Amino acid sequence: MPPMILDIARFVGFGVVILALAYPLGLYMAKVYSGEKTWLTPVLVPVERVVYRVAGIDPNEDMPWTAYAISLLIFNLVCFTILYLMLRFQGVLPLNPQHAVGMKPDLAFNTAVSFVGNTDWQAYAGETQVSQLTQMAGLTWQMFVSTAVGATVLIALIRAFGRKGAHAIGNFWVDLTRSWLYILLPICVVLGLVMVSQGTVQTLAARVSVRTVEGATQTLSVGPVAATEAIKTLGVDGGGVFNANSAHPFENPTPLTNWIEMLAVLVIPAGLVFTFGKMAGNMKQGIAVFAAMAILFAISVGVMYGFEQAGNPNLTRSGVDQVASATQSGGNTEGKEVRFGVAESILFASLNTASAGGNANASMSSMTPISGGMALWNLMTAEVVFGGVGCGLYTMLTFALLAVFIAGLMVGRTPEYLGKKIGSREIKLAMLAVLAMNIGILVFTAIAVLAPAGLAGRLSLGPHGLSEILYAFTSAVGNNGTAFAGLNAASLFYTTMIGINILIGRYLLIVPVLAVAGSVAAKTTLAPSVGTFPTDTPLFTGLLIGVVVVVGALTFFPVAALGPILEHVLMTAGRLF
């Protein structure tokens, strides 16, 4: 069978498996967030009650959006402070077999903000700069918590659409607790054990000495990898124990773990779309959004695969055979693990940039310019293609509000979404969220390319150097965490700027989204009429895709033209960077 057919079958197979896993998980999550009984309820309800009692939480309290947002912000500030102090003082804290010293203040700030903000951008090397205590009780714990925080915002928004004339949108502490206790923790226990069974290391030791096949002795870094790996992928986080992330064989030892990691990254964000459909009382609404995400994802995979498989034209001109055949996978293999090849590297990269995954098993910088540019495009379209846990869908629903507003303007209908009349207040709030991200990317990139300290961080010159800088800020503001590679992000300039950018991308989106939730909860629900633009049809799916693409294209096309697009043109003319 031709290699390309096999690769396409692999992509389709992945889609089928993710759909088969995401749908039942989505229905389960809908039950969890609605407070209905699940098969885990008898076991976990006593634990949940203990958590509320110890933390002094009244689970029956219904919060207005302002109280919900304030609880979230204060909770995140407390989490940041604890993690920051842990990173700074890990040298004098226990469980430090690698004798890691405290991080410098700017790096501790960058790392703490990154993990509390669900970005997991890593300007440090985990195997040498983080103690086991910090890894487990600091970073891995934050992966659970920050993922749960993203889910709370989405659930509050979905719940608000189902309420009529209400002043409250739910209880932040209850949503938070249910997210990690009923969803993340049980799946992570199973996932962690599966990873261990495949050879992912899990130990409190820092290093192990082994004898190589040549007879020499080699010291290898190890650690609590399997436990981290489980939530790193399931929580769409991305902060690995090792600097090489999922390209490291101790994090991702087999082709099966590569698939498991990819499935784990997408299963909750995809499942939440069905949770949305279920909780909205119309599964077609969820399917319409799911279809928009799936089409955008298929385009991303198709473009990246096509350009990577075509390879570098300069090598072809030099007589290098890059065509896939029975004896070679072909294509551009620079920066890729031979274990995974082009197809699985592309699928991994695509789904981890389309979602807020932040995991990597290949070097983005080594991809052909358009493939790297497609990964960048995925980040620029606000990672709404399934996205992170919660944040992907709540950003997509923000785009949905813009879509119904634009449709209303075009055909003269009153904008409505899920039975709620969408007014100027909701559109203003949606635009505040969209603009925060755009400012975070464009303004910060502009500062970096003007400042000597920003330019000093580049590894490459020309358009590729711009892509390195642009990618870093796009990844940070999108709370993604993948790196393009090449950029020295550990300098004072970048640790500070990227840290602030993560804060902007996280909280300046969450506040307006929660305000939208408060606004729509207070409205009455209208019955569909002849003037209602249906939002559960293929037409709406197309409109939604159009809004996502146009907002991304109009905003970022100029800078993309100076980065990956220019690099592609120069590559075809024989100039490489």
Shorter beta-carbon distance to another protein: residue 110 or 246: 110
> How many chain residues interact with another protein (CB under 8 A)?
38
In angstroms, the CA 297 to CA 402 distance is 21
In angstroms, the CA 450 to CA 8 distance is 43
Q: Which DSSP string do the residues of 287-315 spell out, in sequence order?
A: HHHHHHHHHHHHHHHHHHHHHHHH--HHH
104 binds another protein per the rule CB under 8 A: yes
List Cα–Cα distances, 350 to 49, 291, 367, 561, in angstroms: 40, 17, 12, 20
Shortest distance (Å) from residue 508 CB to another protein: 7
User: DSSP label at 365?
Assistant: G
What are the beta bridge partners of residue 170?
63
Q: Which stretch binds another protein (CB under 8 A): 81-89, 151-159, 377-385, 445-453?
A: 81-89
User: DSSP label at 219?
Assistant: E
Provide CB contacts within 8 A for 476, sequence distance 6+: 114, 119, 121, 440, 498, 501, 502, 505
Structure tokens belonging to residue 403: 């879509």
Shortest distance (Å) from residue 560 CB to another protein: 29
Among 109, 144, 377, 493, binds another protein (CB under 8 A): 109
Among 428, 435, 528, 550, binds another protein (CB under 8 A): 428
Q: What is the dihedral of CA 143, 144, 149, 152, to 10 degrees?
A: 140
53 binds another protein per the rule CB under 8 A: no
Shortest distance (Å) from residue 555 CB to another protein: 22
Shorter beta-carbon distance to another protein: residue 109 or 297: 109
431 binds another protein per the rule CB under 8 A: no
Shorter beta-carbon distance to another protein: residue 37 or 99: 99
Shorter beta-carbon distance to another protein: residue 378 or 395: 395
Shorter beta-carbon distance to another protein: residue 188 or 427: 427
Task: Scan residues 503-522 and list those touching another protein (CB under 8 A).
Answer: 503, 507-508, 511-512, 515, 518
Shortest distance (Å) from residue 69 CB to another protein: 5
Phi and psi at 302, nearest 5°, equal -60, -45
Shortest distance (Å) from residue 75 CB to another protein: 10
Shorter beta-carbon distance to another protein: residue 451 or 461: 451
Shortest distance (Å) from residue 496 CB to another protein: 8
Structure tokens belonging to residue 135: 């890894």
Phi-psi region of 462 (alpha: psi -120 to 50; beta: other; left: phi over 0): left
Shorter beta-carbon distance to another protein: residue 21 or 500: 500
What are the beta bridge partners of residue 478?
none
Phi and psi at 185, nearest 5°, equal -65, -50
- Number of Cβ within a 10 Å radius of residue 20: 10
167 binds another protein per the rule CB under 8 A: no
192 binds another protein per the rule CB under 8 A: no
128 binds another protein per the rule CB under 8 A: no
444 binds another protein per the rule CB under 8 A: no
Shorter beta-carbon distance to another protein: residue 86 or 360: 86
Shortest distance (Å) from residue 65 CB to another protein: 8
Task: Scan residues 458-497 and list those touching another protein (CB under 8 A).
Answer: 496
In angstroms, the CA 347 to CA 13 distance is 12
**Letter for the amino acid at 360?**
A
Strand 217-221 to strand 416-417: parallel, antiparallel, or no bridges (unpaired)?
unpaired
421 binds another protein per the rule CB under 8 A: no
List Cα–Cα distances, 202 to 139, 240, 280, in angstroms: 16, 13, 41
Interface residues toward another protein, by CB under 8 A: 65-66, 69-70, 73-74, 76-77, 80-81, 84, 88-89, 91-92, 101-102, 104-106, 108-109, 112-113, 425, 428-429, 432, 496, 499-500, 503, 507-508, 511-512, 515, 518
